[in-house]
Amino acid sequence: MPTRRRALLILAALAGLAQLSIALALMVGSIPITPLEVLAALVDNGGTSGEVVRSLRLPRALTGFACGGLLALAGALLQVLLRNPLADPYVLGISGGAGIGALLAIVLGFGAAGINGLAFVGALGAMLLVFGLAHGEGGWTHSRLLLTGVIVAAGCGAVVTLMLAMAPDDRLRGMLFWLMGDLSQTGDPTLVLILLTAVLLVSLPFARELNLLARGADVAQALGVAVRPLRRGVYLVASLATAAAVTHAGAIGFIGLIVPHLVRLATGNDQRLLLPASVLAGGSLLVIADTLARTVLAPQQLPVGVLTALIGVPVFLFLLTRGAAGRG
């Protein structure tokens, strides 16, 4: 268990990493911009490079950071709620619901706002469906919730595949990009940044109770945690965080699964540190991945979801083998 001091040091280091990743995202691209020019662009308007930084790269980097943070936070919360280190934000079908909404909007030829709106409606629909079905009589067990979520996700997956099969050819590319996760269509990052802050601030006061919930519902209840409202709250907050991220950036994979894992391997399973550290690390990872996605094969842009997987998988496997050796 980290001391409060050690936790703050780790968070400060991760905050530094987050700043570096955003600085990198502002500098790199089809027009390289020096650090000084970036600083100048941020403080006063004017100049082509200023325009590129302020209206293109900064909103995209901030949206990426917020979405990465939301996904990592949702993953960390769901891993505790389901007591399963393999849970990710999509395991309960939220991304599937959002996918149906977004693809429907693309097929119907809606603009970015319409796609986001329908994606959010789809995510909320899947969330309410899973919540309602998992509740049933006899209450909530994490295995029942998990099974219901997995089945709803599978159903959504089938509908998504059906829509892909029936969609007109000229829409297919946009649909595939959305499904793999894409930050090229982002607008104003304010809303999603506010959401990220709100979700983190709501979760942090319950972090020690989440530590107990991770050890089992009965154990937590016996040690003074009001388990029922806590579980519902965690489900709601994690679902909203996922819905917000998926609505803004599509179903970007791996961040929500791998980032909480990486942080847990590096710092232990104390949610008081794990939750904010996951936000910072997840945000940074997505910003770096997105920067690579738009520069590696420039001018062609890759779906960022491919990059998060290509970075995340080897890093994860490395830490996992190192962790196992250290423990043995």
Residues that bind another protein (CB under 8 A): 1, 3-4, 83-85, 205, 208-209, 211-212, 214-216, 218-219, 221-227, 264, 268-270, 272, 327
How near is the Cβ of 135 to another protein at its closest, in Å?
17
How near is the Cβ of 143 to another protein at its closest, in Å?
12
Q: Which is nearer to another protein, 4 or 43 (CB)?
A: 4
Nearest to 17 by CA among 207, 318, 272, 262: 262
Contact yes or no for 253/286 (Cβ under 8 A):
no
Residue 265, C-beta contacts closer than 8 angstroms, at least 6 positions apart: 319, 320, 322, 323
Q: What are phi and psi of 274, to 5 degrees?
A: -60, -40
Distance of CA 135 to the CA centre of its chain: 25
Q: Which is nearer to another protein, 35 or 268 (CB)?
A: 268
CB atoms within 10 A of CB 300: 8
How near is the Cβ of 168 to another protein at its closest, in Å?
46
29's torsion region: left (phi>0), alpha (psi -120 to 50) or beta?
Answer: left
Q: Which is nearer to another protein, 59 or 323 (CB)?
A: 323
Nearest to 173 by CA among 302, 296, 60: 302
Number of H helices, E strands in the chain: 15, 0
Q: Which is nearer to another protein, 35 or 85 (CB)?
A: 85
- 128 SS3 class: helix
Q: Which is nearer to another protein, 85 or 132 (CB)?
A: 85
Residue 89, C-beta contacts closer than 8 angstroms, at least 6 positions apart: 71, 74, 75, 78, 95, 238, 241, 242, 245, 256
How near is the Cβ of 302 to another protein at its closest, in Å?
34
Q: Which is nearer to another protein, 57 or 261 (CB)?
A: 261
How near is the Cβ of 245 to another protein at its closest, in Å?
24
CB atoms within 10 A of CB 255: 34
Q: Which is nearer to another protein, 16 or 85 (CB)?
A: 85
How near is the Cβ of 53 to another protein at its closest, in Å?
39
How near is the Cβ of 95 to another protein at its closest, in Å?
23
Alpha-carbon separation of residue 237 from 45, 123, 124, 203 (angstroms): 38, 13, 12, 8
